[in-house]
Structures are given as C-alpha cells and as structure tokens.
Amino acid sequence: MNRSIFSFNESLDDNVMKPVAEGYRFVTPDPVEIMISNFYSNLDDVKVIFNDLLQLKFRNAGADSTRFLINTILGMGGLVDFGTDYGFPKRLEDFGQTLGHWGVPTGPYIVLPFIGGSNMRDGPATLVDLLTSPMFYSGFITFGVGAAMGAVAAVDTRAGLLDTEEIIGEAALDKYEFLRDAYLQRRRSLVYDGNPPRSMDYELEGPDETDQDLVSSTSTEKKRSITIEYIDPDPEDSENLGTSTD
C-alpha cells in the first residue's frame, strides 16, 4: 500500500506540482520568493512556540516569541527575517515532535496521499498542527483568502525542493527507500533537538504488505536493523537547530 500511494504522489508531483513550482520559480524574482518563504516561516513560528510550551522548553519559547515579534513588527509581517540577524534563528517544532519528546513511539511508517511520508504518530499530529497555524484561520476571513494562502504555501514549499531533486535522483537506487530512511532519521533527529544518541538502532519496515511486489510469496518477512552513527554537532548549532518528509 505504501508503494502504491508513493507512486500516486510521484505521478501527481510530476504532472502538477513540479511544473507549477518550476513556473513559479521562473516568474518570481529571487528577492520576492525569499520574502514569500519568510512570510510563511513567520506564521509557522506560532506553531513552534505552542509546541515549545508543550515540551516545557520555556527558554526556546521565549526566544521564538521574540523572533516572531521582531519579524512581524520590523519585518513587515514576516517578509524580512530580521530575527536571525538579531540572534534568534529559526527552529522547527511540531506536535509530532512533542509527542516524541514525551515518549510516544513513532509506530509504523506510512505514506499519506498528497502529503508523503509520515508515521502513525506524526500523521494524526498534523491535525493539531493545522489547528495551531494562523493559515487555518485565514479561511474564516473568506474561503478565497484561505485557499489562496494554502495554495501559495504548497507551491512555495515545492519550489524550495527543486534544488535537491537531482541529488536524490543520483543518490537513490530506490527512491522510496531513500526518502523513507531519510524521513525516519530526520524525524528522530528533530525529536532530540539535533542531538540523538551517538549510536541509535531502530527498525525500518522490511518487506510487508506494502512491498509484496518485490518479494516472492515464500519469502519470510524480516525487519532490517540500521545503526546510524552521529557526530556531535557544533554546540552552538545544536542550541540553534530547528530548521522539513520522507
């Protein structure tokens, strides 16, 4: 099932999202594209602050609140990222990370239609993230405003991934497995604020009902264990980390 949904998402991306993102990048001057990305990043900081508080990271909550105020007031609604220049870099927090912070296991890896890679913990958590995003409430102004903001956000996000596409294509023998493994590693790193255990073992799903087309009916299901060695990041980078899908 995962591979089938992955193929559907890839087809949708190739025929719709990627061409639109390429057109968007072609017609949008770089400074304008940066300001649009900054605007949505600033809105995302509301969600970040909410999850800082849920994780009892009060110092981060204060810093992220300061960043939000600086960019909203001085940065003309977030169009300019003055917060980073003033020593308040972007962090990433979401409700899936909050659940992981308090020990909720990831559960099986899943691929969601239109969204992409996720897991049984983070998938439902996106509903909470939606409710804590100011963009969700823009729809109460008019449906058109909410729809337009959501569409531009999706296209802007996709345009930001264009530069990594060629690298993935060259590096991945199996794109599904490559993106799955990258997603699982990244989510674990985010839960640990960029400092996961030096050696961490975790299971990635092996051949299951989502991969039966790749194995014979007589094959015994096995799970693969992957050991990933992490090099401690620079302490300053660890403090500021926070800057994400299969």
pLDDT interval class at 217 (50, 70, 90): very low
Flag whether 187 is in a domain.
Answer: yes
Q: pLDDT value at position 163?
A: 82
Q: pLDDT value at position 78?
A: 94
Pairwise CA distance, residues 188 & 184, whole Å: 6
Q: Could you tell me which residues come within 8 angstroms of residue 218 by beta carbon, excluding any fewer than 6 positions away?
A: none
**In a 10 Å sphere around its CB, with 0-12 CB exposed, 13-18 middle and 19+ buried, how is residue 46 labelled?**
middle
Flag whether 246 is in a domain.
Answer: no
Q: What value, to the nearest 5°, has the Cα angle with vertex 179 and ends 202 and 242?
A: 75
Flag whether 38 is in a domain.
Answer: yes
Flag whether 182 is in a domain.
Answer: yes
Q: pLDDT value at position 246?
A: 43
Residue 212 has pLDDT above 60, yes or no: no
Flag whether 245 is in a domain.
Answer: no
Higher pLDDT, 126 or 227: 126
Q: What is the 3-state secondary structure (H, E, C) of 174-189?
A: CHHHHHHHHHHHHHHH
3-state helix, strand, coil in the chain (%, to 5): 60, 10, 35
pLDDT interval class at 165 (50, 70, 90): confident
**Taking the complete model, does pTM exceed 0.85, yes or no?**
no
Instruction: Name the residue among 205, 194, 202 with its Cα closest to residue 244.
Output: 194
**Sign of the torsion angle spanned by Cα atoms 117, 119, 124, 127:** negative
Helix or strand run (H / E) with residue 38: helix 30-54
Q: pLDDT value at position 150?
A: 87
Pairwise CA distance, residues 160 & 219, whole Å: 40
Domain carrying residue 88:
2-240
Of 64-68, 126-130, 170-174, 228-232, the range with the lowest mean pLDDT is: 228-232
Pairwise CA distance, residues 175 & 182, whole Å: 10
Pairwise CA distance, residues 21 & 37, whole Å: 13
Helix (H, G, I), strand (E, B) or coil at 206: coil
Q: Could you tell me which residues come within 8 angstroms of residue 61 by beta carbon, excluding any fewer than 6 positions away?
A: 49, 52, 53
Q: pLDDT value at position 160?
A: 86
Q: Total domain count for the chain?
A: 1
CB 49 within 8 A of CB 61: yes
Rounded to the nearest 10 degrees, the angle between the axes of helix 30-54 and helix 58-73 is 150
Q: What value, to the nearest 5°, has the Cα angle with vertex 168 and ends 166 and 171?
A: 110
Residue 237 has pLDDT above 70, yes or no: no
Q: Residues 3-57: pLDDT tens digits?
A: 999 999 999 999 999 999 999 999 999 999 999 999 999 999 999 999 999 999 9
Flag whether 171 is in a domain.
Answer: yes
Q: Residues 99-142: pLDDT tens digits?
A: 999 999 999 999 999 999 999 999 999 999 999 988 888 766 67
Region for 63 from its dihedrals, namely left if φ exceeds 0, alpha if ψ lies in -120 to 50, beta otherwise = alpha
Flag whether 54 is in a domain.
Answer: yes
Flag whether 109 is in a domain.
Answer: yes
Residue 204 has pLDDT above 50, yes or no: no
Higher pLDDT, 137 or 221: 137
